[in-house]
Amino acid sequence: MSKLALHGGKPVRTEGPNSTWPAWDEREKEALAAVIDSGTGQYGIGEQGTKLEEELAEWMGCKYALCTINGTETMTIALKAAGVGPGDEVIIPAMTFIACPLAVLLAQAVPVLADIKADNVALDPAAIEANINGNTKAVMVVSLYGVPADMDAMLDICESHDLLLLEDVAQAQGSAWRGKHVGTIGDIGSLSFHGAKTMTSGDGGAIVTDDKELRDLCQAYRQFGTPFEGSEQDYAVTGGNYRMTEFAAAVCRVQLTRVNDLIAKRNESAQILDEMLANVPMVKPLQFPEQVTRRSYLNYVMHYDAEAAGGVHRNVFAKAVKAEGVGLGFGYPCLINELPLLGGPLRERDRDRFFGRKIDYASQEFPQARDIVDNTLMTIHQSWLLADAQVVRDLGKAMRKVAENIEELKDEPRE
């Protein structure tokens, strides 16, 4: 066996991935120059924003798409358009990005946290059921890292309890469940074009739906309360200005032309890693159920089994892999209820703006999410998945090397 680099051996790699993210080139530059030459960067006056919405709806396989400034306002707008407001409760996962509870609070509703499942790092259906009460109005299901949630279960729960199903697919654009893009399965979907996402214009977002009334109301909330042309009525709502600029739309349109190729490349890399890690006892790549008919990896996701590693903790394993020239991520560093937004101390003036049941978030426990955050989850960034096949094989080699030398790490301190 080769000596671990952590203990003075030769590392598997001495350079990072030979790819970069975001994946931009001359086409984005030309698109931006065309907007400048057009004389307008404003949505609705130029054509980039509306064309992107048409093209995005076609790619997603839905009737309507509305582009916005980011993937947080998309969710706030969607909730408001669906009538969610003061006193209403929205069930969200205990492990997710802060934008999820923020969107609920900005709609003046109450976020209710529920535990997640390890097999898809998404909402546990049993935990959703346990949190439903007379004030529950919606479920915000989040598909993290490109891994779809159990959409069959989400639909069953929401239909049986007459709840809005809002899909946050900021990290799973392009993934499909039973042949449908995630984001188009529930009542309304939210996409993000932030710099870390599958497609990026630096920032931006989109709302997708097949429901014309929801689309019209989202348009009104997005743009000063003004309705879409062809709306059946003039909606008097307290809308803001959340339109995407022509510049961001132009970049996104170019991104849309290459996204399928990038998804395919990520899948090729993931298949290499699946094969190389199949017999590594402490590393368990996430297994996709047969209902997932297309995988769109944002990151490559694994669970770590400390028992199979003889008690060596995940963080020690990752430290040794990093010394081999490969960095592993752990996902989110804490649970949502541990952030000041919910766990306190939130500024009193802000806290008093929210309405409904007062929840002692800080005292809540979510054992499955807790174990995932602290002990099991490991991720590989998409920049590695877009690298050459040999670079990807080096990722597998690094983890296999550490696994083969796991006994050497038993006395290594956890950091």
Cβ atoms of 175 and 181 closer than 8 Å: yes
What is the pairing mode between strands 205-209 and 180-181? unpaired
> Whole-model pTM?
0.96
Distance CA 15, CA 172 (A): 28
pLDDT attached to residue 235: 62
Those residues of the chain that have pLDDT short of 70 are 1, 228-235
DSSP secondary structure, 207-224, as one string = EEES-HHHHHHHHHHHBT
Question: Nearest to residue 399, comparing CAs of 319, 339, 330?
Answer: 319
Question: Nearest to residue 392, comparing CAs of 400, 384, 383?
Answer: 384
Spell out the residues 6+ positions from residue 275 whose beta carbon is closer than 8 angstroms to its own. Answer: 396
Spell out the residues 6+ positions from residue 7 whose beta carbon is closer than 8 angstroms to its own. Answer: 408
Reported as a single tens digit per residue, the pLDDT across 30-71 is: 999 999 999 988 988 899 999 999 999 999 999 999 999 999
Q: Which domains does the chain have, with CATH numbers?
A: 26-255 (3.40.640.10)
Distance CA 116, CA 121 (A): 6
Largest CA distance in the chain: 72
Reported as a single tens digit per residue, the pLDDT across 212-263 is: 999 999 999 999 888 766 666 566 788 999 999 999 999 999 999 999 999 9
DSSP state, 373? Answer: I
